Copies of this chain bind each other. A is one copy, B any other.
Amino acid sequence: MGLNYDVAIIGGGVIGGSIAFQLAKRGKKVVVLEKGKIAEQSSGAAAGMLAAQVEMGRETGPMFQLAIQSRAMFPQLAEELRERSGVDISLINKGMLRIATTQEDVQELKEVMACQRQAGHFADWLTGDEVRKTEPALSDAILGAMYIEHDGHVLAPELAIAFHKSAAQLGTEIREFAEVKSLLIEQGRVKGVVTHEETIRCEQVIVATGAWSGQFMEQVNMHLPVYPVKGECFSVITHRPLLQSTVFSHGCYLVPKRGGRLIVGATVKEHTFDRKVTIEGVSALMERAKRLLPGIAHAEFEKAWAGVRPQTEDGLPFLGEHPEHRGLYLATGHFRNGILLSPLTGVLIADLIEGKEILDLNIRPFQVSRNVTV
């Protein structure tokens, strides 16, 4: 006996939600299995930057293409999710500034700009004075900035929730507090999953368990090199926004949200699942934020939090079918780009499940088999 679905998705974060949403739109009967509550881990902790160009640097290969294509999906997606779930993901497209505070920064950013322009993308240089003309609250110490018009941001928790609620509205079943303990595998093919409370039979299983993917895959004796990287953030509130654009600098970014909230992130600590906010972390962020944006000193502190992002050894996500167990797909390891990459990840995995050929993107670098020890 058991419950029957077309697809079971393990993980109720932004990646699991996006895949559920795409599959539900294509008529699949889907169940999402989340060990805690929807969007309560990394997706709920993210600042929601869509830093397709700002984060990638000189890299203009497949990862860059993935980011650029996924970023382009947001305007229509925001409308669609809002219509289906009522949730507004608050897409803001007011550009992103990557700040130079030393001559080395200036040199590096100008090289990055050259690479991105050669790849056909917009990137502009602002002098220090131009930066302060655009954003008068920024520090006098800023020497210049690369300005990316198309890099914006969304509310990350809302995006994850909107995906799941939209999928639910299309018939997807969302199960919270449902921890998967093993996979049903018969003759090299996945046949379902077993939770602590029931057995679910299905045609495909998708592992979208983020930073917990390595430990989850050990259950099927697969070493998946995904590890956690902790990040701490804090937020402030002002009546008038301190900034219009998103600001990105060494060890600190500033993301202006609706209603006068400003998120400041994020520390980077590898190989820990610990989600405690430390004094070291939050005080270092505050000092950096004050240097970039002196007026933040007078802003109201709202709260501080931490999350763990899923990093991989080669820095690329795993997107695709398991090399040995047919019907088992992975969609994990997005590190700091899970929010940005979630729309396209949903479409890609849905296409793979439907057997469609992926034409407009080279997904080979993301294959699960590339560096996996079985």
Whether B240 contacts A168 by the Cβ 8 Å rule is yes
Among A123-131, A133-141, A272-280, which stretch is in contact with chain B?
A272-280
Given contacts A88-B258, A165-B239, A283 and B273 within 8 Å (CB-CB): no
Please report which residues of chain A, range 280-332, place their CB below 8 angstroms from some CB of chain B when the two chains form the complex: 280, 282-283, 286-287, 289-290, 296-301, 304
Residues of B within 8 A of A240 (CB): 165, 168-169
A252 to chain B, nearest CB (A): 13
Cβ of A49 within 8 Å of any chain B Cβ, yes or no, is no
Chain A 38-66 per-residue mask, 1 if CB under 8 angstroms from chain B, else 0: 10000000000000000000000000000
Chain A 212-227 per-residue mask, 1 if CB under 8 angstroms from chain B, else 0: 0011001000000000
Given contacts A86-B90, A86-B92, A176-B274, A164 and B301 within 8 Å (CB-CB): no
Given contacts A92-B86, A215-B179, A300 and B286 within 8 Å (CB-CB): no
Cβ of A201 within 8 Å of any chain B Cβ, yes or no, is no
Whether B279 contacts A296 by the Cβ 8 Å rule is yes
Whether B283 contacts A283 by the Cβ 8 Å rule is yes
Whether A271 contacts B301 by the Cβ 8 Å rule is no
Interface size class on chain A is 35 or more
A165 in complex: contacting residue of B214, B260, B297, B300, CB < 8 Å: B260
Cβ of A247 within 8 Å of any chain B Cβ, yes or no, is no
A264 to chain B, nearest CB (A): 9
Q: How many copies does the complex hold?
A: 4
Chain A 198-218 per-residue mask, 1 if CB under 8 angstroms from chain B, else 0: 000000000000000011001
Whether A85 contacts B259 by the Cβ 8 Å rule is yes
Whether B304 contacts A276 by the Cβ 8 Å rule is no
Best-buried of A174, A179, A274 by chain B (most CB within 10 Å): A274
A311 to chain B, nearest CB (A): 14
A-B contact pairs, 27 of them (CB 8 A): A85-B259, A85-B260, A86-B90, A86-B257, A86-B259, A87-B258, A88-B90, A158-B259, A161-B259, A162-B259, A168-B240, A176-B276, A179-B215, A179-B273, A196-B215, A196-B273, A197-B271, A197-B272, A197-B273, A236-B279, A277-B301, A278-B297, A278-B298, A279-B297, A280-B298, A283-B283, A286-B286
